[in-house]
A and B are shown apart, each in its own frame.
Chain A
Amino acid sequence: MIDIVLLVLKIGILVLLYLFIWQVMKTAVATVRAPAGAAAAPDVALPEGSRPVAVFTPAEREARREERLTERTIAGEKLDFTGHIDPRLVVERSPIVPAGVVFPLNGWITVGRASSSDIVLDEHFVSSTHARFVPRGSFYYVEDLGSTNGTFVNEKQVSGEAQLKLDSRVRIGETVFRYEE
């Protein structure tokens, strides 16, 4: 009697194991196709329209921004704007930003394709974290952050960093900024 029970249990366990595996695969594969617009989530910002829902609430985004700001002060960069009146970048030409748009320079400003950048340039030749504008002493510098296609000041490629002078042309990807003070 007990041997028959054991035999039934043995077969039953094996059958249930494979039933389990088969059902998991069947259900999982069925739901693989189900989620609406479930294309692989991109790491970098997508063009408007197919952008996934914001991962952070505005409050979280603000907290992250503050965190980054404190990190920067820790890095030991003193902000000194005594020599400057109003440092800013004016877009000269760009495939995405209308010409004439002014970006005021205020502390460290990062440029890149990533949506977390201060200036987001969502174009092909811009790396996700491309360059940043850094005040040092009474001058602004542009630092290339190891971008793939380089950062250019007056059509000379920046290696490391370059000081900006009045009316310097900074080209990042296909966008050209004019530096004004």
Chain B
Amino acid sequence: MSRRNVELLFLVIAGAVSTMAYVSVYAGRFREINRVSIIYGLVFVGIFFLLHLLVRFALPQADPFLLPITALLAAIGLTEIFRIRPALALTQGQWLLVGAGLFVLTVLFVRDHMKLDRYRYIMGAIGLALLVATIVLGTTVNGSKLWIHAFGFSIQPSEFAKLAIVIFLAGYLDDKKVLLSVPTHHVLGVPLPAAKYFGPLLVMWALSLAMLIFMKDFGMALLFMSIFVALMYMATTRIVYVVLGGGLFAAAAAIAVAVVPHVHDRFTTWLDPWPHAATSGYQLLQSLFTIADGGIVGAGFGRGFLLYANRQPVVPDLQTDFIFSAVANEIGLLGAAAVILLFVLFMWRGFRIAVWAPDGFSKLLAAGLAFAFGLQTFIIIGGVTRLIPLTGITLPFVSYGGSSITANLVLVALLLMVSHRTNVVREGTDLERRRLAARG
């Protein structure tokens, strides 16, 4: 079976789950099954079917599993948002359309990710500009400065900066990896490469620290710092960068905990939420209760205890940061484990693409994107389950949030491009190779 037919088959399963979940929520609320609810589910399937057609036409040899996994995660997210706040589901559906549009534009205009390598410094500059813009223009929500309000929208630029910076780092590190893996001097016994090549990376690192201080956002700072360290390690295979990066972040985190009250709060609540049950620990404890309430199989979509009688969600921010708690409540331990497995499958495909990729830039790009995606998932699921301190970051594809879903759909487009090139270079026909070369 060709890759695209495999993809179609899995999309059909994803579509079935999506429709069933939607019908379940609808029936749970109105006690009836009508055509509208089924049509709604099918419209969602239609969006992904169109994306599938585009991939079939533009990237026929791309990985067949990424798009269905994405569809399934988005379906679970959209259903859960509809369950919690029906009005927001419509907005999120529109954002999904915007994201799908951006996916199409990325595939049609970029065509081949090798092109991005040529614009690596522009990408780096865009990434930096987005982050600096957030620091300067951003508004503070829930103690973190993450949002820019413009033209009636609130945008979370860090989601897009994440992509730009991974592209920049992949290009830069692939070019300079040899020079970076050779130390020219030692500082306090730590071997460091020539400042000329290390400098731009130091700027990036300083910026993630600045994010921590000015945006008071632990999650994004951790994400950016880790992307940086992971790509450095993957490019140079020097474990010293991991140790150094981890140490510096730990130091910065310790200072932030001591100095920034917002971060300090989060930290103490994480260690022991019970004394703060009525104040700062309320959200986290409600999340834990909500997850526990789901039991093994949950009550089913639309039947969990997520809303009080006055239609307020039991956990504040349930549809954004705490969407995983809502999912765990409704489809229980088994369902929540399945969702985590879906994320793991996504990452696995990402790293698989990186391992097979024919050149350094593609490898670093795919691995960087897969890593960023996986770590973001870990940070937020770890946060709501009290494994690590809670930080407000979105769960890719599932959480309510326009920036998150659009940026992550572009991420999928990039991964598909890398895998298309890999498969064509490795086993494609001459015609496909010539087409690929013509795109460059």
| Interface set, chain B 399-413, CB cutoff 8 A to A | none
B178 and A6 form a contact (CB under 8 A): no
B425 and A20 form a contact (CB under 8 A): no
Cα–Cα distance between A11 and B437 once the two chains are bound (Å): 48
A-B contacts, 28 of them at CB < 8 A, read A2-B31, A2-B32, A9-B300, A13-B21, A13-B335, A14-B334, A14-B335, A16-B17, A17-B17, A17-B331, A17-B338, A17-B342, A18-B334, A20-B14, A20-B17, A21-B345, A24-B69, A24-B345, A27-B65, A28-B349, A32-B352, A35-B426, A41-B356, A41-B358, A55-B358, A56-B440, A57-B440, A59-B437
Q: Which residue of B lies closest to A57 (CB)?
A: B437
A2 and B33 form a contact (CB under 8 A): yes
A151 part of interface (Cβ distance < 8 Å): no
B24 and A13 form a contact (CB under 8 A): yes
Interface 1/0 per residue, B383-413 and A, CB below 8 Å = 0000000000000000000000000000000
Cα–Cα distance between A19 and B342 once the two chains are bound (Å): 12
B272 part of interface (Cβ distance < 8 Å): no
A38 and B32 form a contact (CB under 8 A): no
Chain A interface main SS type: helix
A21 and B338 form a contact (CB under 8 A): yes
A36 part of interface (Cβ distance < 8 Å): yes
Closest beta carbon of chain A to B36's beta carbon, Å:
16
Q: Interface size on B (CB < 8 Å)?
A: 57
Note all chain B residues with C-beta closer than 8 A to A13: 17, 20-21, 24, 300-301, 331, 335
Note all chain A residues with C-beta closer than 8 A to B65: 24, 27-28
B24 and A14 form a contact (CB under 8 A): no
B427 and A25 form a contact (CB under 8 A): no
Interface centre among A19, A25, A35, A146 (most CB of B within 10 A): A146
B72 part of interface (Cβ distance < 8 Å): yes
B317 part of interface (Cβ distance < 8 Å): no
Q: Which residue of B lies closest to A147 (CB)?
A: B182
Residues of A within 8 A of B (CB): 2, 5-7, 9-14, 16-21, 23-25, 27-28, 32, 35-38, 40-41, 43, 52-53, 55-57, 59-60, 67, 127-129, 145-146, 148
Closest beta carbon of chain B to A78's beta carbon, Å:
21
B326 part of interface (Cβ distance < 8 Å): no
Interface 1/0 per residue, B271-309 and A, CB below 8 Å = 000000000000000000000000001111111000000
CB-contact partner of B13 in A23, A35, A148, under 8 A: A23
The 5 nearest A-B residue pairs measured at CB: A10-B300, A146-B182, A57-B437, A17-B338, A9-B24
B27 part of interface (Cβ distance < 8 Å): yes
Contacts A9-B300, A27-B6, A57-B440 given: A21-B341 contact, CB under 8 Å?
Answer: yes
Chain B interface main SS type: helix
A23 and B360 form a contact (CB under 8 A): no
A14 and B16 form a contact (CB under 8 A): no
Contacts A2-B31, A41-B356, A56-B440 given: A17-B335 contact, CB under 8 Å?
Answer: yes
Contacts A17-B335, A23-B10, A60-B437 given: A9-B23 contact, CB under 8 Å?
Answer: yes
B266 part of interface (Cβ distance < 8 Å): no
Cα–Cα distance between A28 and B351 once the two chains are bound (Å): 13
B433 and A53 form a contact (CB under 8 A): yes
A52 and B425 form a contact (CB under 8 A): yes
Q: Which residue of A lies closest to B193 (CB)?
A: A146
A6 and B302 form a contact (CB under 8 A): yes
Other contacts beyond A10-B298, A17-B72, A38-B356: 15, CB < 8 A: A6-B303, A10-B301, A10-B331, A14-B331, A20-B342, A24-B65, A24-B69, A27-B65, A28-B348, A35-B356, A35-B426, A53-B358, A145-B179, A146-B179, A146-B194
